[in-house]
Structure 1
Amino acid sequence: MEKKEISSKKLAVTVLSLSLLTVMAGAAVAPALGVIERYFAGESQLLIQMIISVPAIFIVFTNMFFPKMCKVCKSRTLVLIGLILYTVGGCAAGLFSSIYTVLAARALVGIGVGIVMPMSTGLLAFYFPPDRQATYMGYSSAMNQMGGVIATLLSGLLAGISWRASFLVYLMGLISIILCLIFLPNHRIVSEETHASGGAFKEYYAFVIAIFLLMTTFFIYPANFAMETVAEGVIPQKFISVIMAGMDFVAFVGGLSFVLIMKRLLNKTRLLAPGLFLLGYVLLLFPGGWIGTLAGSVCIGFANGLGIPFIISTASRKAGKTAATTVMPLISMALYLAQFLTPVIMSVVKSALSGHNIAHLPYMVAVVVAVLLLIWSVVELKEKK
């Protein structure tokens, strides 16, 4: 019995290690973009920005074919393929002197994450009973946030050495490769119950749209916070990165707190993240200054850390052991598509309102999306008995 429990814990640690690598995979080298831009001074701004956005496109593309990959490869084989692409592609980007070969290496990162992301939560649903899944989903969300903090800090430090060195942050994948080789079983996770993608979307659309709205609401913050704060002129530039790192830490705490909150609020938990997002952006908009910025950042961070595990754990519980091949690829696609489209959405809104000088427009857009998320959570995420 004791041996089995130790094995179970090692398996959980192995699967959770995948969560360190996924959500911020594309943005891990964001702190080095300034150095990279100077090196590729002759290239367009769009190509430089694509270093961050290209992985998201390939993650979405890979997730479309993920269920078919599961029919060909067993779980450990598939995870290792994804981790190798993530690690090799991530590090290789620093070896090239052409922006196009750098982007090709970034595409490999996207394909790797497109494989690993559904597995990082789907395997929790496959190997662990429902009563333990909620706990591990909370840990998974916390690891997502901690992985972002670690990767961002390491990338920033390595960028001080060289822009090429900043890509060594992807060596973090080696930890998961070693753990998976030792502790992850090689089971076939496809069953007869696996749906075609169209059928899966019809069954799980509520969670897919919810994660898209949630990630859009959240991603407006990191994409615009620095510029909006500088424009306001109250908080010095040197404190902006500290506040954003603090927000990531609060999101980490939110993930760790998920199980306790879920036990107390039950299905009402679905309203907490949208409500906190709404409150957070209202605080950024109206009080503003130090108080509004700090309080708003705390609310937004906690909402993100809490909202992701709620949606994923609820969806996984409904899908059962087929989660990795049904709902998780769809959730992964929606999550990364939101990351990619959020700047596009903001660009369209700004263009449409170009004749009007509206202060803190991104925060206003976030309030609107947060209201949509709240309405969607009330109507579509209500537990059906």
Structure 2
Amino acid sequence: MKISTGKGTISLPVLLAIWSVSAVTSLPGLAVSPILGDLNTIFPSASDLEIQMLTSLPSLLIIPFVLLSGKLSVGRDKLRILVVGLVIFLLSGIACLFIRNITALILVSCILGIGAGMVIPLSTGLVVAYFTGEYRVRQLGYSSSINNLTLVLATALSGYLANIDWHLSFLVYTLPAVSLVLSPFLHRQRSTPEPAASDQMRNKTIDRPKLVRLMALYFFITYAALTITFYAAFLVDGYHLPKTFSGVLISLFFLAIMAPGLILDRIIGIFKGYTNVAAIAMIGAGLFCFGIFRDRGMLVVGASLAGFGYGLMQPLIYDKTAIIAPPRAATLALSFVMAVNYLAIMLCPFLIDTFTRLTALHGDRVPFLLNGMLTAGLALLAFRRRDDFTLGLDASYYKR
């Protein structure tokens, strides 16, 4: 079976190898989440600082190694970097299965973060290298869907395994073994050079002003959308709903992120130049559903809308990032954009808490109403600047 790439064809095993890397990038931190509430019991002598380090330090290390991987990819063998990152990730994950003290777990989790950081930019970098034009947009959508579907399934699996034995939750970190098994297919069939007529070939270097604007946009929509994952539990508790309902909302949020990638070209065909406007408006509407309504139905609608809007914008931002860089530097440009994603994840609760302290606003609805208003403002700006490269979507995306 041959898969069209816009510049030739690739075999199905090569496509599966690319998809498997997309699945791996959603794993960091998943195994620790189900045991967070039990860490004081599992490690009775662990300090609060050590517990905080276990949850935050590996994520912090991902960011510089995402950037390092992007830098190393320029003029070097991307597949070698990928394999090194996967091996570090896999061996660290296996080691976590046998660790008995929190200091060792922190150390190994940090090494795992290093491996994950090396792999993350290549998950989209491989798509950009092997595909072009509308084929690349479609595959970036599939990559986003696979990433988020794996996130939901792996979270459920790690939670189930943690109920048997806390060590078993780290089995989800062995998924890179699949990518390693499939990686020889990438070596056998290398990516074809970008066609001379490609938008990428117009660039001699990365267009830095456009890159900065794309980074800012991605940072903001990630920060705004993740309000749901960080604050849904507090809102549900304040509404006196079952505590498990927050987990349902967060799962729906990530499933909704997955959905647009499966039909990305059809959605673009519907909204055309207003695609980003619609996506940003969906995120804002979803946040307002959380901030205004109390019933379960509207909370479900809110989680679905915010997730769908975010999932619609994510692959488009990746594709635009590829367009503004020459082929040899595309992964480097993507590494900057993907790094701000992790930066937004880390800073989201701190930014919201800082704002609430400065304004003396309190209440479980405040984070949702605040970011809903900011997102509504961005949607209005996107409507007024719908011909802009960053906030708009030109006709090349839907007149094909």
What is the TM-score with the length of structure 1 in the denominator? Answer: 0.88
Q: Distance in 1 between matches of 2:392 and 2:141?
A: 20
- Paired residue for 2:371? 366
Q: Distance in 1 between matches of 2:46 and 2:180?
A: 35
Q: Distance in 1 between matches of 2:333 and 2:91?
A: 28
Gaps of 5+ in 2: 194-199, 396-400
Instruction: Give, in angstroms, the shift of residue 42 of structure 1.
Output: 3.3
Larger helix proportion of the pair: 1
Is the contact made by 1:216 and 1:369 (CA closer than 8 Å) also made in structure 2?
Answer: no
- Given the alignment, which residue of 283, 287, 291 partners 2:289? 283
Instruction: Give, in angstroms, the shift of residue 128 of structure 1.
Output: 1.3
Instruction: Give, in angstroms, the shift of residue 184 of structure 1.
Output: 4.2
The reply on whether 1:381 has 2:391 as its aligned counterpart is: yes
- Paired residue for 1:206? 213
Q: Distance in 2 between matches of 1:285 and 1:124?
A: 38
Q: Deviations over 1:167-222 (max 9, x none)?
A: 11101111111111334458699x99774xxx654341121111111110121111
- Paired residue for 1:84? 87
Instruction: Give, in angstroms, the shift of residue 384 of structure 1.
Output: 6.8
Amino acid in the other structure paired with 1:238: T
- Paired residue for 1:227? 234
Q: Distance in 2 between matches of 1:46 and 1:344?
A: 17
Q: Distance in 2 between matches of 1:114 and 1:358?
A: 36
The reply on whether 1:177 has 2:187 as its aligned counterpart is: no
Instruction: Give, in angstroms, the shift of residue 77 of structure 1.
Output: 1.0
In structure 2, relative to structure 1, the CA distance for the partners of 1:139 and 1:77 (3 Å cut) is same
Amino acid in the other structure paired with 2:365: H
Q: Distance in 1 between matches of 2:256 and 2:300?
A: 11
In structure 2, relative to structure 1, the CA distance for the partners of 1:323 and 1:383 (3 Å cut) is farther
Which moves more between the two structures, 85-94 or 290-299?
85-94
- Given the alignment, which residue of 43, 48, 55 partners 1:45? 48
Secondary structure of the residue that 1:56 maps to in structure 2?
helix
Q: How does 1:1-385 map to 2 (within 5 A)?
A: 7-71=10-74, 73-185=76-188, 195=205, 201-233=208-240, 235-319=241-325, 321-322=327-328, 324-353=330-359, 355-371=360-376, 373-374=378-379, 377-378=382-383, 379=385, 380-383=390-393
Is the contact made by 1:248 and 1:301 (CA closer than 8 Å) also made in structure 2?
Answer: yes
Count of matched residue positions in the alignment of Structure 1 and Structure 2: 380
In structure 2, relative to structure 1, the CA distance for the partners of 1:85 and 1:262 (3 Å cut) is same
In structure 2, relative to structure 1, the CA distance for the partners of 1:8 and 1:203 (3 Å cut) is farther
Identity of aligned residues (%): 24
Is the contact made by 2:287 and 2:302 (CA closer than 8 Å) also made in structure 1?
Answer: yes
Amino acid in the other structure paired with 2:161: L
Q: Distance in 1 between matches of 2:353 and 2:361?
A: 14
Q: Distance in 2 between matches of 1:207 and 1:221?
A: 22
Amino acid in the other structure paired with 1:12: L
Q: Deviations over 1:324-346 (max 9, x none)?
A: 43320111111111111112212
Q: Deviations over 1:83-137 (max 9, x none)?
A: 1122222332343333232122122222222221111111111111212001101
Is the contact made by 1:220 and 1:363 (CA closer than 8 Å) also made in structure 2?
Answer: yes
Q: Distance in 2 between matches of 1:210 and 1:182?
A: 35
Instruction: Give, in angstroms, the shift of residue 227 of structure 1.
Output: 1.8
Amino acid in the other structure paired with 1:140: S
Is the contact made by 1:210 and 1:373 (CA closer than 8 Å) also made in structure 2?
Answer: no
Which moves more between the two structures, 280-289 or 45-54?
45-54
Q: Distance in 2 between matches of 1:92 and 1:135?
A: 37
Q: Distance in 2 between matches of 1:2 and 1:27?
A: 34
Secondary structure of the residue that 1:268 maps to in structure 2?
helix
Is the contact made by 1:201 and 1:330 (CA closer than 8 Å) also made in structure 2?
Answer: no
Is the contact made by 1:87 and 1:172 (CA closer than 8 Å) also made in structure 2?
Answer: yes
Which moves more between the two structures, 203-212 or 1-10?
1-10
Instruction: Give, in angstroms, the shift of residue 142 of structure 1.
Output: 0.3
Amino acid in the other structure paired with 2:251: A
Q: Distance in 2 between matches of 1:252 and 1:167?
A: 24
Is the contact made by 2:261 and 2:312 (CA closer than 8 Å) also made in structure 1?
Answer: yes
Is the contact made by 1:156 and 1:166 (CA closer than 8 Å) also made in structure 2?
Answer: yes
Gaps of 5+ in 1: none
Which moves more between the two structures, 67-76 or 294-303?
67-76
- Paired residue for 2:197? none
Is the contact made by 1:250 and 1:302 (CA closer than 8 Å) also made in structure 2?
Answer: yes
In structure 2, relative to structure 1, the CA distance for the partners of 1:97 and 1:360 (3 Å cut) is same
Q: Distance in 2 between matches of 1:376 and 1:3?
A: 39
Q: Distance in 2 between matches of 1:183 and 1:338?
A: 32
What is the TM-score with the length of structure 2 in the denominator? Answer: 0.85
Q: Distance in 1 between matches of 2:63 and 2:297?
A: 38
Amino acid in the other structure paired with 1:304: Y
